[in-house]
């Protein structure tokens, strides 16, 4: 069961995305009598879910009698302004990177971020903190940027990307797209599907760099969100991206459904889609065929709405033993999520897989 302030934040988000003619009167009615404290909870929700600037766009257009208190509105405006400036800085850094000597001959595709931002009514409001890129030639790219004095952290064994900082922006150069799908064979299969979509259907010319085609983006969003959801880290921005991409009408829905089924993620994807229809204003005709399960959708929605990034942040700053105990507790709490996403694999199976994967790359350096 979601809290009132969560429902309101999501209602404002729905307004901001502009996908449906929201019953604005209903939202205004719900906002009447909202206290300053409750408004602050709404604001904090948007911060946790990386949609502060997007929701602000709706909040500042509310009728005067139901707007947030002035001091909060100004604080919100400051946050939204920072998002815009950060996006400008990221775009400038990306444009500069693409033009570097030695890098120019290596095609750079910007994943997520810039490609998905263009779907938003106001792209500059979609919050990003780093840049995910794909080159298909990671070693050549690393050599080229290292020759220019840029330090690259080769983290391919721990994660799926190499990292570097350029113009005060953090870049992740992906060698693959999948991290926590259980089973090496399945990980490889899903990765091959995505690479096939990206290289087979091409990229789109955009500023400051090329972006993937919509079919790649669609499958990538599902895989990426499923991974995050399985360990309790999916949030509202994931749902916004999904709703807007489906609403764009540019995705081959038949191909998408087949690909999602091959990845074993149909049930989860249908839950995401159902949520977007009911909560985000996604027109049902834009969603394509979807198997509805409202009880599951409500459970998933509550879980996503309850996302608390602080838990993840705190884990990184605890001692080894404390962190291990917390991680085990989270692993147990997230069992139902993994079963949903990865098709009812037993807890024992998931636990053994997770431990063996950890041992493999910590001790033997292999994923």
Partner 1 sequence: MKIDGRHKIRTVAGESIIIMQGQTTVDMTHVVSLNATSVWLFERLAGRDFDAAGVASLLVEEYGIERERAEADAAAWIEKLRSCGIIVE
Residues that bind partner 1 (CB under 8 A): 60, 64, 67, 70, 73-74, 77-78, 81-82, 85
Nearest distance in Å: CB 173, partner 1: 24
What is the C-alpha to C-alpha distance for residues 274 and 79, in angstroms, rounded to an integer?
31
Comparing CA positions, the residue from 265, 333, 267, 316 lying closest to residue 296 is: 267
Closer residue to partner 1 in complex, CB, 77/330: 77
Nearest distance in Å: CB 189, partner 1: 41
With residues binned 3-state (H G I as helix, E B as strand, rest as coil), the percentages for the chain, rounded to 5, are: 60, 5, 30
Nearest distance in Å: CB 22, partner 1: 19
Nearest distance in Å: CB 80, partner 1: 9
Closer residue to partner 1 in complex, CB, 81/199: 81
Longest dimension (CA), the chain: 62
What is the C-alpha to C-alpha distance for residues 103 and 152, in angstroms, rounded to an integer?
14
What is the C-alpha to C-alpha distance for residues 334 and 180, in angstroms, rounded to an integer?
14
Radius of gyration of the chain (CA): 21
Closer residue to partner 1 in complex, CB, 90/222: 90
Closer residue to partner 1 in complex, CB, 81/322: 81
Tokens representing 147 are 């020759």
Closer residue to partner 1 in complex, CB, 60/139: 60
Closer residue to partner 1 in complex, CB, 78/311: 78
Nearest distance in Å: CB 170, partner 1: 13
Nearest distance in Å: CB 56, partner 1: 9
Contacts of 309 by beta carbon, 8 Å cutoff, 6+ apart: 48, 233, 235
Which segments within 79-168 are labelled E, that is strand?
Answer: 109-111, 130-134, 152-153, 161-166
**What 3-state DSSP class applies to 139?**
helix
């Amino acid at each position: 069961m979601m809290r009132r302030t969560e429902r309101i934040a999501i209602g404002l988000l729905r307004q901001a995305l502009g996908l449906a003619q929201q019953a604005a009167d209903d939202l205004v009615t719900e906002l009447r009598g909202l206290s300053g404290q409750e408004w602050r909870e709404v604001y904090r929700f948007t911060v946790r879910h990386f949609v502060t600037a997007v929701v602000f766009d709706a909040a500042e257009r509310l009728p005067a009698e139901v707007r947030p208190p002035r001091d909060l509105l100004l604080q919100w405006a400051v946050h939204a302004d920072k998002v815009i400036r950060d996006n400008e800085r990221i775009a400038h850094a990306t444009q500069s990177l693409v033009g570097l000597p030695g890098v120019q001959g290596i095609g750079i595709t910007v994943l997520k971020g810039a490609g998905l931002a263009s779907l938003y009514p106001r792209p500059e409001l979609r919050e990003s903190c780093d840049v995910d890129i794909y080159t298909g030639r990671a070693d050549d790219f690393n050599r080229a940027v290292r020759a220019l004095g840029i330090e690259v952290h080769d983290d391919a064994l721990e994660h799926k990307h190499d990292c570097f900082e350029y113009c005060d922006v953090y870049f992740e150069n992906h060698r693959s797209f999948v991290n926590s799908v259980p089973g090496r064979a399945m990980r490889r299969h899903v990765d091959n599907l995505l690479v096939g979509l990206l290289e087979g259907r091409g990229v789109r010319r955009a500023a400051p760099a090329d972006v993937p085609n919509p079919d790649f983006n669609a499958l990538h969003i599902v895989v990426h969100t499923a991974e995050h959801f399985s360990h309790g880290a999916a949030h509202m921005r994931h749902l916004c991206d999904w709703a807007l991409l489906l609403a764009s009408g540019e995705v081959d829905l038949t191909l998408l459904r087949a690909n999602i089924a091959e990845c074993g993620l149909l049930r989860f994807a249908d839950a995401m889609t159902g949520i977007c229809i009911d909560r985000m204003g996604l027109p049902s005709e834009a969603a394509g065929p979807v198997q509805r399960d409202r009880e599951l959708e409500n459970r998933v929605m509550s879980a996503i709405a309850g996302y608390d990034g602080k838990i993840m942040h705190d884990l990184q700053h605890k001692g080894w033993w404390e962190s291990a105990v917390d991680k085990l507790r989270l692993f147990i709490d997230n069992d139902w999520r993994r079963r949903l996403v990865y098709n009812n694999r037993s807890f024992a199976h998931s636990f053994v897989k997770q431990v063996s994967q950890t041992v493999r790359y910590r001790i033997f350096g292999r994923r």
